[in-house]
Structure 1
Amino acid sequence: MKYDHISFVNYNMNQLVLPLDLEILIPQNHLSIIVHEAVEKLDDTLLVQPYKGGGRPSYHPKMLLKVIIYAYTQKVYSGRQMEKLLTENIYFMWLSGSQTPDFRTINRFRSERMKDIIYQVFFSIVELLREKGLVKLEHYFVDGTKIEANANQYTFVWRKATEKYEKSLDDKYRQLALQIEHILENEEKTAPSMGLEEKLKETPITSEQIEQSIKKLEKHLETEPKNKEAKKAVRLLKKDYLPRKMKYEEQNQLFNGKNSFSKTDNDATFMRMKEDHMRNGQLKPGYNVQTGTEGQFITGFSLHQRAGDPGCLIPHLQHLEEHGVKPEKIVADSGYGSEENYDFLEREGLTAYIKYNTFDQEQKRNWKKKIERVENMEYDEELDEFICANKQSLVFQYETSKTSENEYVSIKRKYSCFECAGCPFQKTCAKGKEQKTITISLENQRQRKEIRERLQSEEGRKLYSQRKCDVESVFGQIKHNQQFRRFSMRGLQKNKIEWGLLCVAHNCKKMQKAIKRNKVKEEIGCQ
């Protein structure tokens, strides 16, 4: 059968095809071009800084950075996968100039070369966004999310457990130390030491002390080799007490203010994650990532080892200021609404649009009916008294102070009413108790009043409503669309690099969309 009537496009694998320049095949305003232009505008000295020079020539840092950032935009976080794409994908091949660094080179650059410059690279991109008019760095929408660490979730060490076991070990050592002293004193026929037991109780036990006890016993055994008690004590100290004490001391250093850590990633802290598929509130090793946005561009980030958001805001904003970013208005949810945070923002001259924990309840109609709430009582500033619903006075009793982890001192004052007996509101107001007592911070009450007025203003309502669609949608983009829910590297420093690269990749994607949107507007305007 003949097929003369059928025609095909010429197909010849040996035919030389032009163009040879890959850039011609890349569409205008493609994401790879955005990444290329953004990295090219970085200062060369910044990227060259980590290199010492000498030896075999290294791959250019700008080339490696472009490849990694573009890989992150494509949901590729593995060095091996990047190596594969450098020989298969024309966008990767164009960015690398057809060079093919292996996965070890890529991973080494990412984890070691970027270690000290990740924040400078990120904030250089933020400055580029500001120059293009995409951000103004005036409004700062901040929120935190927890990202799971690259660690085994069952290799946890808890500080309370370590403290408990270490205390038990110290007590056992103190008892053994008395026996050791008794052995040495009897053999040397000297008078027993006075007050040794009290001295041991007062002195914290260290591994050096245990080692000294071993040396004393070993020296004693040189002259009395048949002393069974001394031999038993040496064996117990060497095989049990000393290794355990050294382990507990090492664990205490790794805690470094944390309540827990993972054996496979010592910097990770066990936290409750939103992605709880087992629905049992299981704790997983992770990091609290604080991220600030403006117009859904990421303008700041920091990683923390504490689970709660309130204590992360001040270090986060201080970190921003160190890199030359100081926004005027801070917008955050009620998780950040603490007296300490309000005080810090006020001292720094920043305007806070941050709810406190009862703000939403105060907007409801039945809030005014809650006569037991201090917000619904009158305050006599002259007499320093609160007036309850029955027109009785709650008089000042005493004040207490509490110091936070960031060394902020909060003063709480206690007020009591002594006329509650027979009061018609006793069951509701005093909850059936003999007297009504309240413990409050007057400073925090003043702060709440200012925040309430600010959030209820037209600008406050507009900014706070924008928060949800600004910062929270960024987390949705990263976790759901980018499928980034777990770090691929281990250690706080390396995970800072990874999150920083992810933020740069996110900003490049948003920049591309903004350029396309502006181009469409220009075309519509021309028509």
Structure 2
Amino acid sequence: MLEKEYPDKKYYIPYTMYEKEKTRKYRSDPTKLANWFYDEKDDYYLDQNGIRFSFKYYSQRKDCSTGQVRDFKVYEADEFQLTPELERLAKTKSGRQRQVRYNPNWQYLKEKAKKVLQSPEGRHIYSMRKYDVEPIFGHLKNVFGMRRTHLRGKKKVETDVGIAFMMMNLSKYWNRRWSKDQFSVFKNKNRQKKRSIKLKLRVELIVFQYLRVSYFPDTFI
């Protein structure tokens, strides 16, 4: 959908398994379909034991929550293998032929994402995300305790998250203001002015904490 709506845009967003697929453990895992031998001409796979999985049929799955339909190619272990042992391994515990599913559309998008992310420009932009974008959401989740939005619907969620970010900015402002005013109290020799500044600080702190506990109750549990 995004490709059709924004054909000229590049996406520097890694898919879920992007980092894990780069690890040595994943790349050397013989049970992963991505590490199996694939014959493009005859359209079949060989697993780590040499069991042949030939293309069987196409299938679809519909996500109940989103309604999204995904297309799969189903590969099934051949009934006749090179040895009786392989024929035994080609079956499940219930005696059926083993099957694996392959999503060509998802694989295409993954390869496209890899190409963009592993380019010099992509590496630079993705590295910036780790210290420019992600810390903000980490702070919102771990410090302010916001792990889900309070409302539903695109416009409502935009407003909800906007208020959350505004509260984070107010928190930064308050911390700086508190330090500055505390220094003023320490530096000022006029007792009456000191009391006035302290009273102002207490009122501001009460108001700020009330707003914070109202919007982020998890931080005070």
After superposition, the Cα gap between the structure-2 partners of 1:430 and 1:376, relative to the gap in structure 1 and judged at 3 Å, is farther
Counterpart for residue 3 of structure 2: 346
Take 1:368 and 1:497, find their aligned partners in 2: how far apart are those partners?
Answer: 42
Counterpart for residue 417 of structure 1: 77
After superposition, the Cα gap between the structure-2 partners of 1:356 and 1:432, relative to the gap in structure 1 and judged at 3 Å, is farther
The answer (yes or no) to whether the contact 1:454–1:460 under 8 Å persists in 2 is: yes
Higher relative contact order (CA 8 A, sep 6+): 1
Whether 1:364 and 2:23 are equivalent positions in the alignment is: yes
CA RMSD of aligned residues (A): 4.1
By how many angstroms is 1:505 displaced?
Answer: 6.3
The answer (yes or no) to whether the contact 1:398–1:413 under 8 Å persists in 2 is: yes
The answer (yes or no) to whether the contact 1:399–1:414 under 8 Å persists in 2 is: yes
Cα-to-partner distance string for 1:372-426 (whole Å, 9 max, x where unaligned): 3211123333433223345553112222212334443211221112227413994
TM (norm. structure 1) is: 0.26
Whether 1:471 and 2:133 are equivalent positions in the alignment is: yes
Take 2:106 and 2:37, find their aligned partners in 1: how far apart are those partners?
Answer: 16
Take 2:23 and 2:88, find their aligned partners in 1: how far apart are those partners?
Answer: 22
| Structure 2: unaligned runs, 5 residues or longer | 173-221
Matches within 5 A, 1:368-407: 368-389=27-48, 393-404=52-63, 405-407=65-67
Take 2:145 and 2:29, find their aligned partners in 1: how far apart are those partners?
Answer: 45
Counterpart for residue 408 of structure 1: 68
Take 2:147 and 2:114, find their aligned partners in 1: how far apart are those partners?
Answer: 38
Write the letter of the residue equivalent to 2:37.
E
Cα-to-partner distance string for 1:48-91 (whole Å, 9 max, x where unaligned): xxxxxxxxxxxxxxxxxxxxxxxxxxxxxxxxxxxxxxxxxxxx
Counterpart for residue 186 of structure 1: none
By how many angstroms is 1:368 displaced?
Answer: 3.8
Take 2:93 and 2:54, find their aligned partners in 1: how far apart are those partners?
Answer: 19
| Seq. identity, % | 25
Cα-to-partner distance string for 1:21-59 (whole Å, 9 max, x where unaligned): xxxxxxxxxxxxxxxxxxxxxxxxxxxxxxxxxxxxxxx
Q: How many residues align?
A: 162
| Structure 1: unaligned runs, 5 residues or longer | 1-343, 511-527
Match of 2:110 among 448, 458, 462: 448
Take 2:67 and 2:30, find their aligned partners in 1: how far apart are those partners?
Answer: 34
TM (norm. structure 2) is: 0.53
By how many angstroms is 1:486 displaced?
Answer: 9.5
Counterpart for residue 89 of structure 1: none
Q: What SS does the aligned partner of 1:372 have?
A: coil
